[in-house]
Chains A and B, each alone.
Chain A
Amino acid sequence: MSDRGTLRIQQISAHPGPVAGEGTQRQDKVCKLIDTTTCIGCKACEVACVEWNDMPFQTTYFDNTYQTMPDTDWNYWNLIKFNEDQHDDGSFAWLMRKHQCMHCEDPGCLRACPADGAIVQYSNGIVDFQQENCIGCQFCVSGCPFNIPKFNPNTKKVYKCTLCSDRVGAGLEPACIKACPTGCLHFGTKEDMKFMAENRATQLREVSGFQNAGVYDPDTIGGTHVIYVLHDATKPERYGNLPAKPRIPLSFTVWKDIFKPIGLFGAMLGFVGVVMHYVFEGPRREQPTPPVVRIDPPPPPAGKEN
Chain B
Amino acid sequence: MTNGWIDIKNTDMMLIMGGNPAENHPCGFKWAVEAKLKRNAKMIVVDPRFTRTASQADQFLQIRAGADIAFLGGLINYAIENNRVAKEYLVNYTNAAFIIKEGFKLPEDGLFSGFDAATKSYNKSSWNYQEGGNETGKAVATPPMGVAGDIPGGAAPGSIGSVKQSQPQGSAPAGEHGSVTGHGAEGQGYQAQGPAGAKAMGGGPIPPPSLPPNIAYDLSLQHPRCVYQLLRQQYSRYTPEMVSRITGIPQDQLLKAYDLFTSVRINGDMKKVATIIYAVGWTQHSFGTQIIRTAAMVQLLMGNVGRAGGGVNALRGHSNIQGATDMAGIFDILPGYLKVPSPTDQDLKTYLDRITPTPAKPNEWQSFNYWSNTPKFMVSFLKAMYGNAATKDNDFAFNYLPKVDRNYSWVNIWNDMYEGTVKGFFAFGMNGVMIGPDSQKNIDALKKADFLVVCEIYPDETSAFWQAPGITPDDMKQINTTVYRLPGAGFAEKDGTFVNSARWLQWKHVALPPPGDCRLDQDILAQIFLKIRELYQKEGGKFPDPILKASWAYTLPEHPSLSEIAKEINGKALADISDEKSGVSLKAGQQLPGFAMLRDDGTTSSGNWLYCGSWTEAGAMMQRRGTEDPSGLGIYPNWGWSWPANRRVLYNRASCDLAGKPWDPTRSQVWWNETAQKWVGNDIPDFKPDSKPEEHMGPFIMNPEGVGRIFVPLGAMADGPFPEFYEPIESPIDNPLHPNQSSNPVVKKFKTAMDKYGTVKEGYNIICTTYRLTEHYHYWTKNNPMNVELVPEPFVEIPAELADQMGIRGGEKVKVTSARSDYIAKAMVTKRIKPMMVDGKKLYQIGMPIHWGFLGISESEGRTSKMPANRLTPTIIDPNAYTPEFKGFLVKLEKV
B775 CB contacts on chain A under 8 angstroms = 43
Contact flag A181-B27 (CB < 8 Å), given A47-B790, A62-B793, A64-B811: yes
User: In whole angstroms, how far apart are the Cα atoms of A93 and B60 in the complex?
Assistant: 10
- Chain A positions 30 through 74: 1 when the CB is less than 8 Å from some CB of chain B, otherwise 0: 000000011011111011001100000111111111101000000
Taking the closest CB of chain A, its distance from the CB of B178, in whole angstroms, is 25
Asked if A58 and B50 sit within 8 Å, CB to CB, the answer is: no
User: In whole angstroms, how far apart are the Cα atoms of A93 and B827 in the complex?
Assistant: 21
Asked if B50 and A65 sit within 8 Å, CB to CB, the answer is: no
Query: B559 contacts the other chain (Cβ, under 8 Å)?
Result: no
* Residues of chain B from 792 to 847 with CB closer than 8 A to chain A in the complex: 792-793, 795, 810-811, 826-832
Q: How many A-B residue pairs have CB under 8 A?
A: 98
Contact flag A47-B786 (CB < 8 Å), given A40-B56, A181-B27: yes
Query: A273 contacts the other chain (Cβ, under 8 Å)?
Result: no
Asked if B26 and A181 sit within 8 Å, CB to CB, the answer is: yes
A95 CB contacts on chain B under 8 angstroms = 55
Name B828's closest neighbour in chain A (CB-CB): A64
Name B54's closest neighbour in chain A (CB-CB): A94
User: In whole angstroms, how far apart are the Cα atoms of A51 and B50 in the complex?
Assistant: 30
User: In whole angstroms, how far apart are the Cα atoms of A57 and B774 in the complex?
Assistant: 19
B795 CB contacts on chain A under 8 angstroms = 62
Query: A220 contacts the other chain (Cβ, under 8 Å)?
Result: no
Asked if A40 and B793 sit within 8 Å, CB to CB, the answer is: no
Taking the closest CB of chain B, its distance from the CB of A97, in whole angstroms, is 12
Q: Which of B55, B786, B831 contacts A86 (CB 8 A)?
A: B831
B50 CB contacts on chain A under 8 angstroms = 92, 94
Asked if A68 and B52 sit within 8 Å, CB to CB, the answer is: no
User: In whole angstroms, how far apart are the Cα atoms of A69 and B26 in the complex?
Assistant: 21
Asked if B56 and A50 sit within 8 Å, CB to CB, the answer is: no
Query: A234 contacts the other chain (Cβ, under 8 Å)?
Result: no
User: In whole angstroms, how far apart are the Cα atoms of A47 and B37 in the complex?
Assistant: 26
Taking the closest CB of chain B, its distance from the CB of A231, in whole angstroms, is 10
Asked if A183 and B33 sit within 8 Å, CB to CB, the answer is: yes
User: In whole angstroms, how far apart are the Cα atoms of A50 and B22 in the complex?
Assistant: 22
Asked if A182 and B792 sit within 8 Å, CB to CB, the answer is: no
Asked if B26 and A50 sit within 8 Å, CB to CB, the answer is: no
Contact flag A38-B56 (CB < 8 Å), given A50-B786, A182-B29: yes
Asked if A46 and B56 sit within 8 Å, CB to CB, the answer is: no
Contact flag A93-B786 (CB < 8 Å), given A183-B34, A207-B40: no
Q: Which of A38, A40, A184 contacts B53 (CB 8 A)?
A: A40
Name A95's closest neighbour in chain B (CB-CB): B55
Name B787's closest neighbour in chain A (CB-CB): A47
User: In whole angstroms, how far apart are the Cα atoms of A51 and B193 in the complex?
Assistant: 52
B793 CB contacts on chain A under 8 angstroms = 61-62
Query: B748 contacts the other chain (Cβ, under 8 Å)?
Result: no
B811 CB contacts on chain A under 8 angstroms = 62-64
Asked if A38 and B831 sit within 8 Å, CB to CB, the answer is: no
Query: B361 contacts the other chain (Cβ, under 8 Å)?
Result: no
A60 CB contacts on chain B under 8 angstroms = 789-790, 792
Query: A251 contacts the other chain (Cβ, under 8 Å)?
Result: no
Contact flag A181-B29 (CB < 8 Å), given A38-B56, A41-B52, A92-B50: yes
Contact flag A68-B789 (CB < 8 Å), given A40-B22, A40-B56, A63-B811: yes
Asked if B790 and A40 sit within 8 Å, CB to CB, the answer is: no
User: In whole angstroms, how far apart are the Cα atoms of A66 and B26 in the complex?
Assistant: 16
Query: B785 contacts the other chain (Cβ, under 8 Å)?
Result: yes
Contact flag A94-B26 (CB < 8 Å), given A38-B33, A62-B792: no
A207 CB contacts on chain B under 8 angstroms = 40
Query: A208 contacts the other chain (Cβ, under 8 Å)?
Result: yes
User: In whole angstroms, how far apart are the Cα atoms of A47 and B26 in the complex?
Assistant: 14
Q: Which of B58, B790, B828, B831 contacts A46 (CB 8 A)?
A: B790
Query: B245 contacts the other chain (Cβ, under 8 Å)?
Result: no
* Residues of chain A from 162 to 211 with CB closer than 8 A to chain B in the complex: 181-184, 200, 203, 207-209
Query: A237 contacts the other chain (Cβ, under 8 Å)?
Result: no
Asked if A41 and B55 sit within 8 Å, CB to CB, the answer is: yes
A37 CB contacts on chain B under 8 angstroms = 56
A213 CB contacts on chain B under 8 angstroms = none
A182 CB contacts on chain B under 8 angstroms = 22, 26, 29-30, 33
* Residues of chain B from 211 to 239 with CB closer than 8 A to chain A in the complex: none
5 contacts between A and B (CB under 8 A): A40-B56, A41-B55, A57-B785, A64-B811, A65-B828
Q: 18 additional contacts, CB 8 Å, given A50-B789, A64-B829?
A: A40-B23, A40-B29, A40-B55, A42-B52, A46-B790, A57-B785, A57-B786, A59-B789, A60-B789, A60-B790, A62-B826, A68-B791, A86-B831, A94-B54, A96-B52, A182-B22, A182-B29, A183-B34
Which A-B residue pairs are the 8 nearest by beta carbons?
A: A64-B810, A40-B22, A94-B55, A42-B26, A62-B793, A57-B785, A181-B27, A181-B26
